[in-house]
Amino acid sequence: MKTRLQVLNCEYAVRGEIVTIAQKLQQELKDNPGSHPFDEILYCNLGNPQALGQQPITFFREVLVLRDQPAILDRAGTRGLFGADAIERAHKIQDQIPGRATGAYSHSQGTKGLRDTIAAGIEARDGFRADPNDIFLTDGASPVRRMAFSVPFLSTRFIRLQLHSMVALLYLIILMKQWDGDWKFSELENQLETAKLNGISVRALVVINPGNPTGQVLAENNQREIVEFCKKEGLILLADEMLIGMPRCIRRMFMCRTSSSTHLRKSLVRWDTVKMISPLYLFTPCLKGIVESVENEEVTWKYLVRPEIKDQIYKVASVNLCSNISGQILASLIMNPPKAGDESHESYSAEKNKILSSLARHARTLEDAINSLEGIRCNRAEGAMYLFPRIQLPQKAIEAARAANTAPDAFYCRHLLNATGIVVVPGSGFGQVPGTWHFRCTIIPSEDKIPAIISRQEKFHEKFMDEFRK
């Protein structure tokens, strides 16, 4: 139970005490303008781009809208308001949905026709066969974890503890990579040994790649090592590869930063050519809010996903009926966007590139600004929309935090918020190498907010360091 609560605390970090304070400050600013030394709250805590001004892709929205209100699909006025290919795609999707109704529950794995489209998109991207019957569409990654650990095959209380232990373990791995330039494989083995010595019989490893909160990407050889490690130790590999499935160009932006130019192109599932000797299971989310689960084909049928196990997974999925239909449709659109020659192709590409180049600019600007601060070191964002700077806090600040019964990085983040209105997440909420302190901030605030964020953070940081210097 203790572990479970720890994890609650951990996950809660992103929307926790700091956010509650931020909302209070926002209300105070509204009720009494001028009551704080800043005039707005700057949310850098959540990977929530559209809340911060990022515009949705028109083609995606057009198709969603035409599916939700098919009454206007064939009206004359519709052609003037929507792209011809969006209308055509909406018709196609209407045929894929049983009952042609987006207001109905779907198959528990997601609508079959949409899974067909997604499977074809994965095949085109990764170059191996993806079976739509092996794909489960869910509302984000949390239901996948719940599903995986509710399957009787996995469901003992011990397993729940293991999951959480392994999550903590994972973050350590990624931090290793971040600070030593590469990931220490021996650290993973050590953690497993420690867990075993503590009586935890480890059954699964969760890999989040690109990492959250670090934004770092596991190199190709590290990915291979992890797969081999899971085989050797008989672990289930749960791979949360959210950004892997995002339109390739979103990842391409980051690629120049990584040592290998290809290792981001495909998901871990490409290791299907390795002959597997132990269970291996992979969840490959394809965009924020939608998750698809793809099983390694060879492994699937030979070792892990014996039909009775897959039946159990389906059973657990069916308890919650199905994921939301708009999300399912969106997943199929992302895996099959407008192609060259389609009416919407040009606007789609322009909108997408605008988002990507803006993200790249933000990442560089924020990295540079943060790295210029005393005692802070920040790695380059490689594959996610997060930065996870490490901060060397003065001893007096650490002591003041302990006196206030707070983690030192949370102490720093609260001071930052109260002085500047900037909201970031303390690293202690995620788990970090003992004795180190971090905060996570996103690279997604809109262009016009960036200068304010940088100048306020600089001024605050200088003052904070001076105050606690000795």
- The 53-72 site mask, x for binding a second copy (CB under 8 A), equals x--x-x--xx-xx--xx-xx
Q: How many whole angstroms separate alpha carbon 342 and alpha carbon 58?
A: 14
Residue 462 is a binding residue for a second copy (CB under 8 A): no
Name which of residues 81 to 140 contact a second copy (CB under 8 A).
Answer: 81, 98-99, 101-105, 108, 139-140
Q: Which of 249, 321, 350, 404 binds a second copy (CB under 8 A)?
A: 321
Q: How many whole angstroms separate alpha carbon 131 and alpha carbon 180?
A: 39
Q: Which of 6, 35, 142, 201 binds a second copy (CB under 8 A)?
A: 142
Q: Are 253 and 210 in contact (CB under 8 A)?
A: no
Q: Are 422 and 4 in contact (CB under 8 A)?
A: no
What is the SS3 assignment for 340?
coil
Planar angle of CA 183, 409, 178, nearest 5 degrees:
15
For 275, what's the count of Cα atoms within 13 Å in the CB-facing half-sphere? Answer: 0
Q: Which stretch binds a second copy (CB under 8 A): 75-83, 189-197, 269-277, 358-366?
A: 75-83
For 118, what's the count of Cα atoms within 13 Å in the CB-facing half-sphere? Answer: 33
Pairing assessment for the beta strands 42-43 and 422-423 based on DSSP bridges: parallel
CB-nearer residue toward a second copy: 94 or 278: 94
Separation of first and last alpha carbons in the chain:
41
Q: Which stretch binds a second copy (CB under 8 A): 176-184, 242-250, 320-328, 416-424?
A: 320-328
Min CB(25)–a second copy separation in Å: 15
Residue 37 is a binding residue for a second copy (CB under 8 A): no
CB-nearer residue toward a second copy: 69 or 261: 69
Three-state helix/strand/coil letters over 157-174: HHHHHHHHHHHHHHHHHH
CA nearest to 130, candidates 120, 138, 144:
120
CB-nearer residue toward a second copy: 53 or 375: 53
Q: Which stretch binds a second copy (CB under 8 A): 266-274, 314-322, 332-340, 401-409?
A: 314-322
> Which residues contribute to the site for a second copy (CB under 8 A)?
1, 4-5, 8, 11-12, 14-16, 46, 48-53, 56, 58, 61-62, 64-65, 68-69, 71-72, 75, 77-78, 80-81, 98-99, 101-105, 108, 139-140, 142, 150, 152, 155-157, 315-316, 318-321, 324, 326-327
